[in-house]
Each structure stands twice: as C-alpha cells, then as structure tokens.
C-alpha cells in the first residue's frame, strides 16, 4: 500500500507497507522532511511495524512519539502527518 501527505506549510511524507493478518508489515517511511539525527529513521519506520491497523489515530501517533529518542527533531512534518499518510494508504487515497 502507498500513501502520501503534504504537511501544510511543511514537507511531503510517503508511506509504503503491506498489511498481513490485519497488521503493518514492511513499513517504509520516506519523503522530503528532515529527521535529526538521521539514525532515528529506523525507529521511526519500526514504530508501526507489526501494529494492528485498527489502532486509533491517537495511539498511532503516541506509538511514533514513544519510539523516537526524546532529542530527535522531526522537521517539516509530525507524527500526526505520518498517521494521515498511513490512513490515506489504507483508504486507497494516495494524495
């Protein structure tokens, strides 16, 4: 599945993943947003790996926040923007 979201006043977030038995698999998060340090991309990508796709948006967002190191800077988007891209993918609405 593929979804995109352009954060208002910010950057593009792109998600690609599979759904297996109602759970996210092979999650990839990319786009033109900035992440510092760059090593936090793996925890960001892994935050939703294996998670039930029926989880509510608030829980998705909190899971992303909790998996990132507290000093991580996510610039040009937000955990909420990532969740919107995921929801668009699940709905079949890429843009």
Query: Comparing C-alpha atoms, which of 73, 79, 21, 77 is closest to residue 50?
Result: 21
For 48, which DSSP code?
T
The tally of domains found in the chain comes to 1
Percent of the chain with pLDDT over 90: 75
Return the DSSP state at 30.
E
Query: Which residues constitute the domain of residue 20?
Result: 2-91
The predicted structure's pLDDT at residue 70: 86
pLDDT tens-digit series, residues 30-71: 999 999 998 899 988 888 999 999 999 999 999 999 988 888
Residue 20 has pLDDT above 80, yes or no: yes
- CATH at 48: 3.30.390.50
First-last CA distance in the chain: 13
How far from 26 is each of 10, 48, 76, CA to CA, in Å?
Answer: 26, 10, 24
Q: What is the pLDDT of residue 94?
A: 56
């Amino acid at each position: 599945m593929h979804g995109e979201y352009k954060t208002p006043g910010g950057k593009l977030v792109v998600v690609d993943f599979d759904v297996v038995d109602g759970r996210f698999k092979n999650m990839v998060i990319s786009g033109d947003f900035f992440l510092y340090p760059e090593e936090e991309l793996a925890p960001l990508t892994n935050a939703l790996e294996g998670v039930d796709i029926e989880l509510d948006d608030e829980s998705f967002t909190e899971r992303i926040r909790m998996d990132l190191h507290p000093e991580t800077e996510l610039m040009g988007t937000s955990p909420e923007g990532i969740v919107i891209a995921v929801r668009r993918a699940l709905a079949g609405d890429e843009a």
